[in-house]
C-alpha cells in the first residue's frame, strides 16, 4: 500500500467504519434469509398451491358424480319396486275378477233337477227345457195331446196314414214325422224321434210356431 493510501485509511472516522459494517451486516442478513429452509418451503408451497386446488376440485367433482349415480340408482330401484307393485296389484285384480266371474257363472247355472223316467217325469222335464227356451205350453195341454196321439207310449209309430205312405211315419209320444223333428229339434235334447223328452219339446216347438202353443192343439196336427 502506498503512503498516501495508508494515510487516507487512517483518516476514516469511527462513524464511517460503523456505517460500512452495517451495510455488510445487512447484506449478510439478506443473503441468509434467502437461503434459510423456511424460505424454500414457502416457495414450494406457493408453487404447489395450484396443484392442490385442482386436486380438491377434481375430488369434489368425483364425489358429485358419485352422489348423482347413487341418487339415480335409488330412483331406479324405487321405480322398479313401484312397477313390480303395480304389476302385482294388476294381476291380483285380474285374478279376483276372474274368480268373481267364475263364481257368478256358477251361481247362474240352473242345475237340472232329477226327473222320473215315466210319462209324468218326461212331461215335467220337457216343460223345464221349454221354459229355458221360451217355448209355451202347459202340463195339461201336453198330456192331453200325448194321450190322444200315442196313449203315452214313447215307441208308438203310425204305419198307415199318409205320412207312412210317403215313407215318413209319425213316431213317439206326440207322433212327430222326421222332417218336423229335424226342423224343430231343440239343442240339448237327444236327436232321436223316439226319445220322449226330445219328442215332446220338438212337437211343442212346432205347435208354438204353427198354433201358438200345444195347448191350442185338439186334434191331428
Q: Reduced to 3 DSSP states, what percent helix, strand and coil does the chain have, rounded to the nearest 5?
A: 70, 0, 25
Note the pTM of the prediction, 2 decimals.
0.53
Backbone phi, psi, residue 104, to 5°: -65, -40
Sign of CA dihedral 160, 216, 145, 121: positive
Residue with the bigger pLDDT between 157 and 10: it is 157
Distance from C-alpha of 43 to C-alpha of 131, rounded to nearest angstrom: 112
pLDDT > 90 fraction of the chain, expressed in percent and rounded:
48
Tell me the per-residue pLDDT of 67-112, one tens digit each, with 9 for 90 and over.
788 888 888 888 888 888 898 888 988 888 888 888 777 665 667 7
Place of cell 194321450: 147
Q: Please tell me the predicted confidence (pLDDT) of residue 14.
A: 43
For residue 215, give the DSSP letter. G
pLDDT of 45 above 60: no
Q: Is residue 212 within 8 Å of 195, Cβ to Cβ?
A: no
Distance in angstroms (rounded) separating the CA atoms of residues 206 and 108: 29
Q: Region 116-136: what's the mean pLDDT?
A: 98
pLDDT tops 60 at residue 47: no
Query: 193: how many CB neighbours lie within 10 A of its CB?
Result: 25
pLDDT at 40 over 50: no
Amino acid at each position: 500500500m502506498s503512503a498516501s493510501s495508508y494515510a487516507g485509511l487512517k483518516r476514516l472516522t469511527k462513524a464511517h467504519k460503523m456505517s460500512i459494517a452495517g451495510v455488510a451486516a445487512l447484506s449478510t442478513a439478506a443473503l441468509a434469509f434467502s437461503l434459510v429452509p423456511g424460505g424454500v418451503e414457502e416457495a414450494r408451497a406457493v408453487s404447489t398451491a395450484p396443484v392442490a386446488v385442482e386436486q380438491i376440485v377434481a375430488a369434489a367433482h368425483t364425489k358429485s358424480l358419485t352422489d348423482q349415480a347413487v341418487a339415480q340408482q335409488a330412483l331406479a330401484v324405487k321405480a322398479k319396486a313401484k312397477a313390480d307393485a303395480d304389476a302385482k296389484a294388476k294381476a291380483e285384480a285380474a285374478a279376483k275378477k276372474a274368480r268373481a266371474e267364475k263364481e257368478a257363472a256358477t251361481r247362474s247355472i240352473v242345475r237340472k233337477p232329477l226327473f222320473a223316467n215315466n210319462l209324468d217325469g218326461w212331461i215335467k222335464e220337457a216343460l223345464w227345457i221349454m221354459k229355458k227356451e221360451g217355448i209355451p205350453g202347459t202340463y195339461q195341454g201336453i198330456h192331453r195331446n200325448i194321450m190322444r196321439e200315442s196313449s203315452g207310449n214313447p215307441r208308438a209309430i203310425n204305419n198307415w196314414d199318409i205320412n207312412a205312405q210317403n215313407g215318413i211315419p209319425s213316431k213317439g209320444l206326440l207322433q212327430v214325422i222326421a222332417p218336423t223333428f229335424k226342423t224343430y229339434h231343440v239343442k240339448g235334447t237327444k236327436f232321436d224321434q223316439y226319445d220322449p223328452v226330445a219328442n215332446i219339446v220338438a212337437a211343442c216347438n212346432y205347435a208354438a210356431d204353427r198354433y201358438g202353443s200345444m195347448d191350442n192343439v185338439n186334434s191331428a196336427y
